Structure 1
């Protein structure tokens, strides 16, 4: 029969974990808050020896790490020693000593056999204060002085006990507060012991308590976009004596009442014993929507649990849905990872090995890399890897230790890309390391790429807080992601000129975001084909807003023995799919040769673009020619290299240069002036600025585009004014969004309509002038005036 305190020892990788069952205990299993829990743990250490860590289980698991367990073990050893010394202290047996020492021996026996187990700090304080009072009495004299040998034994014990206790780590850590310590106050324990918490329906451990002496940088709630409910509270800390910041998250499941914990515990037991067919047939669509089906099933199970309880809780509809959402998240969902993915500020999530010993790390907007208070268990991480292996249909085992997938999906949230690595690449057998990257669900327009990293609602709040008088004044205050007056217009001109692009940068530099921004500027009249091994480009959203786009999914460059089509074959197949723009998610391997074949075949026909890992334009050349073995002459099919990179002391990744690849060089573009920067990043101005080469019209690519139109041929000034016009159009879109406090104006659906309107207006003006004068002209003043009229009307009609 189970009883309070049943204990077992489990070994994980050679380390002993003492697991104490507290289900039948009448106290909360937290040693920092509950005296009986402290007594239980210390007594178990005394009886069973020193464990590596300690876990108390009672619906919720409270685990104390090796450092905290070492403090408890040290105290347990001192308690055993003092109990033995008290037994040896026989001063009360002498008749002459009994009247003085009798009460004190009773105090010592109670203190060191009982009270010290419940409250070691309190027992130490009481002992010190009592023996100090004795010193004062002896110094002042007492009616019946004890024998000298009795007094000497007692004094030696007092000094020995004080020394033993004062040198323990527990007493040392709270020593400065001893003088004002109140007996029974357990706040001192909370500064030393901070258990990681894991409800029994969760598999990840949460360090719920805040880090000590840390500075709060930010705090907010994470809201589920589907149910519109708060799912977690997040606090960002600057850690003391560390260069790290902490992302401290407390999911709602870690803060439920005991009544709700009991409901979920009972629901879990009922779910695990429920026939699979009953769950699948509940909605008739389990395989199509297992998450929605299980949500409905869990609502029924939770309702049954509540109704069958001896004292049913009166739960609201929102509380039922909250419990059902928690249940789904921690059964067929991805647990705490879903909480992180729901936070729109989180960009990257990293899970390292050894699992169960290493906290999750994240990278977030505004604060960079942070350690978290979450430590996933081995079983939890393994369940993530197994599920992603199943969902992706790709192998993950010792023969195929790397898996790339886009199948980690959370309803209503950003898309994500996950890389998983297992043994033998990681040293721990059958464990997984994961790297998860979030991607925005909507394509990022140049206008959104240009706006500061705040929402328009946040900008409105800043206007009120800063006392700014107009929205226009806000445009000048924040730093620029992309220099609106130039770079956006230049890229728009190059895209309409149907050139070839490589977007280069390091990991997390924003390459895919910038590539998507280029894609959004391609005319919807053009068919687009995307090729990716892991789907990151928001093709679905682009289809929704009218793009003629086809996504091709190919095998990962790291995959071996896959049934999927290789990237090289995928690119070659696009050459047989008709006239299309080709967008390659990432150029990694032998597909580079096929990509350059497509560039040469598609030159001056449609945009061809891709991303590649490199630090600068010459690094792109070196990677393509030397690493990927593309002939030097083929590399010249690249027209433009865009560099994206994170910059020190800047918020988020930036585009840092636009470089033209010239065609008249033979072996080395660096020494033969094969690279010409058109736009470069000015760190002092925190913006992209035109180079002297661009200002004087030293661009073969731009002139080649102009030569295709009679309105531009041989007239650099007219080409330049068209680039400026395009910049002004994008600027007007942003200004209108700020004026109307409506962020939808810079989002893809409206932005693409605006570009279509600009193109139509431009050609209408061109053709009118051609009809009148025989030669067409893209009159910038007329085009801008007509575009503003369209923009005013369309913005008013836009319903948020």
Structure 2
């Protein structure tokens, strides 16, 4: 590189051809340097197979800037690259594919041509397509060099520079890139504005999964605003600004002006928040985000209303590592080659809770993640009635059953809402019920339950390595922490045997609740008995299997209670009878309770009660839940208050 910023190889071509004067910078009508006709001030460096172009004082647009193409081609005369990254005033553009191949082949052409033809060597630096067309019509040594360098072959596949140079783009501080183009023939299906200021568009594609296109508010910022963001980011990274309101104070420091609210939000998103995930999860329809390794090659994928989609979002390697660091910092869990998997939770800047599962080397080819929106702790049974998850009479039966210490398993497939329903049912336990809750990854609404007067003690389990305890040990500990309800976030291992043994011998005479993977009582029985090794007679202590489903509607994905089955045992065998099951799109009573045939209802009766008394309680609870749902009184505090008032009236 010469002192004026011109690459040395390019300077040698200019000097021997005498065209240096022709490349002097011109000024456009706004007084700015016209890089398309003038000398390029980009600075070039290599990061392994990546050519990095610092275009802070230059155009940097390879599709339109002849001068910038000259700089790149000259750099590639001595060394190949698989991608080109251009950084310009806080933006990072990445080029791959045919455009990189074209400039690389042009570099080889210039290097191998030497001083045989100075005119073609000079022209190939800035206009490799034009030179390729000319060389393709020739015969002789120059034509052979064009073939040997790959220039003529690559150029035949490219119609224009605009086609060849369509970069992915993103903020340098955001560690992501967006693919701006959409497939030919794609049809726009939906557009939605997000709370972050970004927009989401969904396209239907023939022969492929839908495409979820994110238009990030970050990229609408001016060059000056992006510069302020970079300066503010560096101030935070260097520790010159710390404490509360760090994003706004960093911007105030670097601009000497009050912080712009939009810039504050963007900077906070990329420093205190989870970056581009904040934009994705701002879409209320979106439940899952998948980051697949290697991240540079694979687009982020999402699940929207139960439908899997590819996005136009790519994370950079630095972005994947930044996410890994944030997960380690917020969860307190190790995540490295020595501990290559992690299961944790996080809270986004907008308050959305997410569950994080991650893998890294040597388990995977780099860092990869699955992010899932956590169960909403604002749901109550009246809330689920109001949103159509279940009818009021079904909710009332569950309320009475849990309040009267039934043992129930919430079953369903992945994403069906098992944890949401389990968390909702915990509000139905009476305030004087001691509840011990066991989870490996916190998802149930412990704080929300405690805030409405519930006595809840949470135990966190792990792999058994280090200071964590195994689910088996946690269960044994829970049985010693007080007589009351026992809740297991997910039953999936050896803890199942301990749990059922405790139930069988009467070590826990209160409500026992948990979630398990399975679609219906038959599948749950097979999993618990055959896969988890629980004795069939122990499984018989289960009172209810409640199955939930995710399904699609005209308005998107929804969840519903599909059926409630009671477990029947006569000493010789176990079978299941439906109390509620789907009829159309709603769960309805099978009539078994009304006919006086339900074993569970009979067991729910107190010492001085009859079967009819329990049925009456379910009817009264149905009316109460209907009233709360109709009145919109569905928050945990409103429902808890109504429950207390109801019990006082009954007393």
Match of 1:777 in 2: none
**Residues 695-706 of structure 1: pairs in structure 2 closer than 5 A:** 696-706=595-605
Query: How many pairs were matched up?
Result: 602
In structure 2, the CA distance between the partners of 1:69 and 1:481, relative to structure 1 (3 Å rule), is farther
Of 744, 747, 753, 2:635 maps to: 747
CA contact (8 A) 1:499 1:607 kept: yes
Q: CA deviation at 1:300?
A: 3.6
Which of 181, 196, 205 lines up with 2:168 in the alignment?
A: 196
Which residue of 30, 41, 66 corresponds with 2:61? 30
Provide the residue aligned with 2:310 in structure 1: 371
Per the alignment, in what secondary structure is the counterpart of residue 395 of structure 1?
A: coil
Distance 1:730 1:301, change over 3 A: closer
Check the 8 A contact 1:235/1:249 in 2, yes or no: yes
Structure 1 CA distance, aligned partners of 2:161 and 2:616? 71
Using the size of structure 1 for normalisation, the TM-score is: 0.67
What does the per-residue CA deviation read over 1:24-43, in whole Å, with 9 as the maximum and x for residues that have no partner?
Answer: 32x2x223454544554456
Other-structure match for 1:250:
215
- Counterpart for residue 388 of structure 1: 327
Q: What's 1:678 paired with?
A: 579
From 299, 304, 326, the counterpart of 2:253: 304
Relative to its length, the structure with more helix (as a share) is: 1
**Residue from 41, 45, 60 that aligns with 2:91:** 60
Match for residue 51 of structure 2? Answer: 18
The structural deviation recorded for 1:437 is 1.5
The counterpart of 2:407, out of the listed 469, 489, 500, is 500
Aligned-partner Cα distance in 2 for 1:122–1:699: 86
**Structure 1 pair 271/389, CA: closer, same or farther in 2 (3 Å)?**
closer
Within-5 A mapping of 1:467-546? 480-482=388-390, 484-546=391-453
Select which of 551, 554, 567 maps to 1:661.
567
Question: Per-residue displacement from partner, 1:565-611 (whole Å, max 9, x unpaired)?
Answer: 32222222232233322221111222223322443466894321011
Over 3 Å counting, the alpha-carbon distance change for 1:714 and 1:202 in structure 2 is closer
Distance in 1 (CA, whole Å) between partners of 2:425 and 2:92 is 50
**1:418-470: per-residue Cα shift (whole Å, max 9, x none)?**
122223321x2xx2221122124533112322344xxxxxxxxxxxxxxxxxx
Answering whether residue 354 of structure 2 is matched by residue 416 of structure 1, we say yes
Q: Does the CA-based 8 Å contact 1:733-1:746 persist in structure 2?
A: yes
Quote the Cα distance in structure 2 between the aligned partners of 1:666 and 1:66. Answer: 68
Distance change (3 Å), C-alpha of 1:2 and 1:443: farther
| Distance in 2 between residues matched to 1:757 and 1:563, nearest whole Å | 44
- What is the distance in 2 between the residues matched to 1:690 and 1:302? 61
- CA distance change for structure 1 residues 707 and 324 in 2, over 3 Å: closer, same or farther? closer
In 1, the alpha carbon distance for the partners of 2:367 and 2:212 equals 22
Q: How far did 1:691 drift?
A: 2.6
CA-CA distance at 1:52 after TM superposition: 1.7
Return the alpha-carbon distance in structure 2 between the equivalents of residues 213 and 387 of structure 1. Answer: 39
Counterparts of 2:616 and 2:161, CA distance in 1: 71
Structure 2: runs of 5+ lacking an equivalent: 6-40
Shift of 1:259: 0.4
1:51-130 superposed matches below 5 A: 51-58=81-88, 59-66=90-97, 68-70=99-101, 114=123, 117=126
Structure 1 residue 329 displacement after superposition = 3.1
Is 1:579–2:483 an aligned residue pair?
Answer: yes
How far, CA to CA, are the matches of 1:167 and 1:383 in structure 2? 41
The separation in 2 between residues aligned to 1:530 and 1:485, in whole angstroms, is 27
Structure 2 partner of 1:233? 199
Q: Say which of 367, 370, 394 aligns to 1:435.
A: 370
Map of 2:227 onto structure 1: 262
Contact 2:132 2:155 in 1 (8 A): no
Cα deviation, 1:224-243, whole Å, max 9, x if unaligned, reads: xxxxxx3422222223431x
Q: 1:335 aligns with which of 275, 280, 284?
A: 275
Q: Over aligned residues, Cα RMSD in angstroms?
A: 3.8
Distance 1:2 1:663 in 2: 89
Q: Is the 8 A contact 1:439 1:536 kept in 2?
A: yes
SS state at 2:347 partner: coil
Note closer, same or farther for the CA distance 1:48–1:56 as it changes in structure 2 (3 Å cut): farther
Offset at residue 641 of structure 1 (A): 0.8
Partners of 1:402 and 1:419 within 8 A in 2: yes
1:384 Cα offset (Å): 2.2
Q: Give the distance between the partners of 1:653 and 1:79, measured in 2 at CA.
A: 63
Provide the rounded CA distance (Å) in 1 between the counterparts of 2:359 and 2:125.
48
The structure with the largest alpha-carbon Rg is 1
Q: 1:71 to 1:505 in 2, by over 3 A?
A: farther
Which of 734, 750, 760 aligns to 2:629? It is: 734
Q: Cα–Cα, structure 1 residues 334 and 587, in superposed 2: closer, same or farther, change >3 Å? A: same
Q: Map 1:550-629 to 2 at 5 A.
A: 550-553=457-460, 555-556=461-462, 559-600=463-504, 605-629=509-533
Residue aligning to 2:9: none
The answer on whether the counterparts of 1:359 and 1:372 sit within 8 Å (CA) in structure 2 is yes
> For residues 347 and 515 of structure 1, what CA distance do their matches in structure 2 show?
18
Shift of 1:63: 0.3
Q: What CA deviation, in whole Å up to 9, does each residue of 1:146-194 have, x standing for no partner? A: xxxxxx999xx9xxx9xxx9997777676xxxxxxxxxxxxx7656543
Q: Is the 8 A contact 1:499 1:604 kept in 2?
A: no
Q: Hey, what's the Cα distance between the residues in 1 that align with 2:511 and 2:359?
A: 35
Contact in 2 for aligned 1:441/1:541 (Cα 8 Å): no
Task: Measure, in 1, the Cα distance between the counterparts of 2:164 and 2:615.
Answer: 67
Aligned 8 A contact 1:208 1:373 in 2: yes
Secondary structure class of the residue paired with 1:349: strand
**Alignment check: 8 A CA contact 2:386 2:630 kept:** no
Q: Which residue of 1 aligns with 2:194?
A: 222
Q: CA deviation at 1:658?
A: 0.8
